[in-house]
Structure 1
Amino acid sequence: MSKLVLQNIHIEYGSNAVVHDVNLTVEDGQIGCLLGPSGCGKTTLLRAIAGFEPVTRGTITLKDQVISAPDVHLPPEKRNIGMVFQDYALFPHLSIADNITFGIRKQAGKDKARRVAELLELVNLPGYEKRYPHELSGGQQQRIALARALAPQPRLLLLDEPFGSQDVELREMLAREVRDILKREGMTAILVTHDQHEAFAMADEIGVLQSGRLQQWDTGYNLYHKPVNQFVAGFIGQGALITGTVLNHDTVSTLLGAIKGEVPLECQPDCPVDVLIRPDDLKLVADAPRKAKVVSRVFRGAEYLYVLGLADNSQILALAPSHQEYALGETVCFELDMQHLIILRRR
């Protein structure tokens, strides 16, 4: 398999820069993800890796071969990169076997049949050779699209919003299934998505993009618990930022009182900061010094998500079991679990 390295990638359309100096590495057999809102540059980066977009600056290297640079552009068909799309792109008039072997038509018949059988076994659809796409569910079609992309044994696999047409529960299930398949194959891959749950379920490392800039390339755990800035903190998971001022190396003064946490090294006393409070950092209790008013609530089956209003009209979120019910406008008491609070220097 193949290590992918992007160094200082900058992409412009005319005078409009859409990707700014992106650096990342996906190791052999690892699954990376480009995550961000619409228009952040993630699909442009994917197209550049595939060879459909030229780079203005920087280099893209695959298995120690420069495939893109301002003066180098290996054509897409010579990169040996597989792609899986949201709409599957299966040929409706071809059988499943013929769809899978479309990219390996020059191989001998016995070799193709053996490869089809291997791939159908890999994607848990053995015996589907003679069926047609319309006979399969959406999830099954997605797995066939994956099998077709893997058939030529590509150096790298790119997945562009592959689960976007599925409902939420099926998307996460498919993401886990596809991850398992890619890991069994030892395939290096890049996923593009706007859905953090897909990213968490599938990727080893995730890059959060905003306005063409890579904000953080890290594990899902670190993105959630150690975001580098306010954008990543707000985009990953749920939570609210409240303002504060540094008192000392591990204490911040806020509307909720003194909060303990890991103060950024560059922050001296009186430095303005933001404190990220996740819903799971709050516990609603019968009595406590900290109080807030219920502004709204969302029923989620096993739990309620409460929006709580503070004295300065800012809001925080809290989770509580669904049998622990509070009315709109009711004043509630809460405790803070300070083990995971995140303190960020205000920009």
Structure 2
Amino acid sequence: MSQLVLEQVELRYGKTTAVYAVDLFVEQGQIACLLGPSGCGKTTLLRAIAGFEHLSQGQISLNGQVISTPHNTLATEQRKIGMVFQDYALFPHLNIADNIRFGIRKQSNKAQQHRVNELLELVSLPGYAKRYPHELSGGQQQRIALARALAPKPALLLLDEPFSSQDTELRESLAREVREILKQEGITALLVTHDQHEAFAMADEIGVLQAGRLQQWGSAYELYYQPHNAFVASFIGQGSLITGQVLDATKVATRLGQLEYLAPTSLTNHQALVLIRPEQVKLNPQAAIRAAIKSKVFRGNEYLYHLQLSNQETLLALGSSQQAFVIGEQIGIELAPQAYPLVN
């Protein structure tokens, strides 16, 4: 059963439309993510789900109850939704235990204490009850903010860029930790982020937004290997888009030869772009197809090469750092024998 349902949701501010006709379904116990660049509408959509923004069109339902329409918005405090904010929003004058029990103050003292202890164990911070937020590291504060949001056992947890203040390595490790905690609690969650590695580490399903439009909804694998359009292909991971002429139901002609392809149902003509990932390109000095090395970036055990084909199209390729080619050199290339995504 879908726990969170958005149907044709639009948000407008005067003549400016921030979000266009979004349909979205999040199953119970699933961790979903809205991923996109700054200004794409993902935080606006999250705020609408929380009840902070009024809809211009469509409706939002949670557990079968309609909570937002253009004419009726259920108050935020009545939605049974928890939120984890970008800046954690912990109360500096309250100790950790009091921060966690803030949302369950109406429960008995015994029930509050039990839940606080339970959550401190869950986020691997037992014994921290009497400390204050300033005594904790950023990662520890993040886990306490999560514990506070989980204390009332919300029907849905919203996370707004929760790891953005951390460095890259810590962001991914925190995302994995939070995922484990949410799965252990069986919490349905929706994350907003601009960081695809964070999204991949945490989410079961990911929606890619661009300029207020939901471009694709799917797993990380589907977004990476089966993008629906050129924006998703370019935004997710690294890759190159080269021109192709569709020959039949399985083959497309490119400067790199005839390739097997995968095409989305939206493919409407015989001109298309073929997505090629760096790991699918093999450097082979004996290969017939040649490309010029325009630049390279050292990545430890490998180089990322920027190549230029004879028709000026560019390609990314990975090669062992044990065999380094020089900039300006012509090198042979060949592609892995597999089907490649086509996008419009």
| TM-score bucket of the superposed structures, by smaller chain | over 0.9
Q: Distance between the aligned counterparts of 2:336 and 2:300, measured in 1? A: 24
1:138–1:17 distance in 2 versus 1, CA, 3 Å: same
Unaligned runs of 5+ in 2: none
Structural mapping, 1:57-96, within 5 Å: 57-96=57-96
- State the SS of the aligned residue for 2:262: coil
**Alignment correspondent of 1:8:** 8
Shift of 1:264: 5.5
What's the counterpart of residue 251 of structure 1?
A: 251
Offset at residue 260 of structure 1 (A): 2.1
Aligned equivalent of 1:214: 214
CA distance in 1, matches of 2:289, 2:135: 58
Question: Whole-Å Cα distance in 1 between the matches of residues 266 and 151 of structure 2?
Answer: 51
2:265 and 2:68 map into 1 onto residues whose CA distance is 38
- What is the total number of aligned residue pairs between the two structures? 344
Mapping for residues 1-347 of structure 1, pairs under 5 Å: 3-263=3-263, 271-344=270-343, 346=344
SS of residue in 2 equivalent to 1:86: coil
CA contact (8 A) 2:262 2:339 kept: no
Query: Residue 325 of structure 1 aligns to which amino acid in structure 2?
Result: A
**C-alpha separation between the residues in 1 aligned to 2:258 and 2:7?**
43
Separation in 1, partners of 2:188, 2:76: 17
Over 3 Å counting, the alpha-carbon distance change for 1:311 and 1:218 in structure 2 is: same
Indicate the percent of aligned positions where both proteins have the same amino acid. 63
- Farther-moved stretch of structure 1 (290-299 vs 3-12): 290-299
Q: Can you list the C-alpha shifts for 1:245-265, whole angstroms capped at 9, x where unaligned?
A: 112221111122222223556
Q: Whole-Å Cα distance in 1 between the matches of residues 264 and 50 of structure 2?
A: 39
Asked if structure 2 preserves the Cα contact closer than 8 Å seen for 1:34 and 1:193, the reply is yes
- Could you list the runs of 5+ residues in structure 1 that have no partner in the other structure? none
TM-aligned CA deviation for residue 274 of structure 1:
0.6
Q: Which amino acid aligns with 1:228?
A: H
Task: Give the drift of 1:335.
Answer: 1.2
Say if 1:239 and 1:166 are closer, same or farther in 2 by CA, change over 3 A: same
Question: Residues of 2 paired with 1:295 and 1:340: CA distance?
Answer: 27
Change (3 A) 1:255 1:146: same
Q: CA deviation at 1:338?
A: 3.5
**How much has 1:324 moved relative to structure 2?**
2.2
Q: Partners in 2 of 1:20 and 1:29 — Cα distance?
A: 27
- In 2, the alpha carbon distance for the partners of 1:284 and 1:187 equals 46
Moved more, 307-316 or 333-342: 333-342
1:33 aligned partner, one-letter code = C
Q: CA deviation at 1:266?
A: 7.2
Give TM-score, length-normalised by structure 1. Answer: 0.96
Aligned CA RMSD, in angstroms, stands at: 1.5
CA separation of 1:264 and 1:69: change in aligned 2, threshold 3 A: closer
Q: TM-score, normalised by structure 2?
A: 0.97
